[in-house]
Amino acid sequence: MVNFFMSLIQFFIRLFKKTDNNSNNTADISETNINNYNDNNENDVEETLVEDMFDYNGKVIILDNGHARQTSGKRSPLFSDGKTRFFEYEFNRDVVNRIARKLDNLGIRYYKIVPEVEEDIALSVRANRVNKLCNQYGAGNCVLISVHANAAGNGTQWMNARGWSVWTTKGVTKSDAIATIFWEEANKLLPKYRMTMRKDNSDGDPDNEANFTIIYKALCPAILTENLFYDNKVDVDFLMSDLGREVIADIHVNAIKRICKK
Ligand SMILES: [Zn+2]
């Protein structure tokens, strides 16, 4: 008789556990359950608070998404479906928006200097916008990051050049150390997806150097990322994918986090 009762109790315990497990498994289906789940998961909440309080050391990140819908060129050859092309203005804006959302979550202050989509904003105007922020916050507190994708040809045919690179102005400036951080962060992620890295070690660091107007005119440290080649078929597939864009945004955010800690 005692055994019978024990079995009965164990049966109800198993039944209760099963019901409980089932309700956990469906926790992500309804909004109410999601709220309950979050309320009960203290670790998640704690992690969010730590991220929110990320010390950005007074740094101001200036994001430049170059080109516009009306910019000539800056697009890939036609894909084999006969209708798809990669447009650089769209990619640059999407990546900058992804970076911005991640910086929002970290509480890092940033500005997007080109809200316009249709009209190409002249480099001198963009440089003026950057320098206005430098005057407002102090050039030493600002970092300009100009986001691009590269091309080897003129958009009429697929090319062989591939890889990720970062650029600074000529000579040794504060931008070189920042560019090295970007290169290191890219090198941590991109090879995992079989994407290649480009570097120019001739001046002792992995960045490439050219006096592009936007980084040359900026009063603050400034770098320009060329995020793979959109006229290379392997690279462009990655650039068209949600995963590829997330990885590229993560490279920038991981580098920004390191810069803000300095
Ligand atoms: Zn570009």
pLDDT score recorded for residue 29: 27
Residue 53 CA, ligand 1 centroid: distance in Å: 34
Residue 220 resides in a domain: yes
Residue 255 resides in a domain: yes
pLDDT score recorded for residue 57: 79
pLDDT score recorded for residue 200: 86
Residue 8 CA, ligand 1 centroid: distance in Å: 72
**Phi-psi region for residue 138, left (φ > 0), alpha (ψ -120 to 50) or beta?**
left
Residue 89 CA, ligand 1 centroid: distance in Å: 8
pLDDT score recorded for residue 7: 56
Residue 116 resides in a domain: yes
pLDDT for 64 beyond 90: yes
Residue 227 CA, ligand 1 centroid: distance in Å: 9
pLDDT score recorded for residue 210: 84
Both structure tokens of 102? 């991640």
Residue 75 CA, ligand 1 centroid: distance in Å: 10
Mean per-residue pLDDT, 152-175: 94
Q: Which residues contact 174 (CB under 8 A, 6 or more apart)?
A: 221
Residue 184 resides in a domain: yes
Q: Which residues contact 5 (CB under 8 A, 6 or more apart)?
A: none
Residue 38 resides in a domain: no
Residue 108 CA, ligand 1 centroid: distance in Å: 25
Residue 189: give its domain's CATH number.
3.40.630.40
pLDDT score recorded for residue 143: 97
Residue 88 to residues 73, 81, 236, Cα–Cα distance (Å) = 9, 19, 11
Residue 246 CA, ligand 1 centroid: distance in Å: 19
Residue 23 resides in a domain: no
Mean per-residue pLDDT, 81-104: 96
Q: What is the DSSP string of 80-114?
A: TTSS---BHHHHHHHHHHHHHHHHHHHT-EEEES-
- From CA 106, how far away is CA 102, in angstroms rounded? 6
Mean per-residue pLDDT, 7-15: 53
Residue 255 CA, ligand 1 centroid: distance in Å: 20
Residue 150 CA, ligand 1 centroid: distance in Å: 6
Nearest to 232 by CA among 126, 158, 167: 158
Residues near ligand 1 ion, CB 5 Å cutoff: 148
Residue 12 resides in a domain: no
Q: Which domain holds residue 235?
A: 43-261
Cβ atoms 170, 231 nearer than 8 A: no
- Confidence grade of residue 3 (pLDDT, cut at 50, 70, 90): low
Residue 227 resides in a domain: yes
Question: What's the number of domains the chain is made of?
Answer: 1
- Helix 42-52 vs helix 31-40: angle between axes, to the nearest 10 degrees? 80
Residue 210 CA, ligand 1 centroid: distance in Å: 14
Average pLDDT in the chain: 83
Residue 66 CA, ligand 1 centroid: distance in Å: 6
pLDDT for 19 beyond 80: no
- From CA 96, how far away is CA 65, in angstroms rounded? 6
Q: Is 117 helix (H, G, I), strand (E, B) or coil?
A: coil
Residue 95 CA, ligand 1 centroid: distance in Å: 13
Nearest to 232 by CA among 165, 155, 164, 160: 160
Length of the chain: 262
Q: What is the DSSP string of 119-135?
A: SPPPHHHHHHHHHHHHH
pLDDT score recorded for residue 202: 81
Residue 62 CA, ligand 1 centroid: distance in Å: 17
Cβ atoms 178, 205 nearer than 8 A: no
pLDDT score recorded for residue 221: 96
Residue 258 CA, ligand 1 centroid: distance in Å: 25
pLDDT for 85 beyond 50: yes
Q: What is the DSSP string of 160-173?
A: ----BEEEE-SS--
Mean per-residue pLDDT, 109-134: 94
pLDDT score recorded for residue 5: 55
Residue 160 CA, ligand 1 centroid: distance in Å: 18
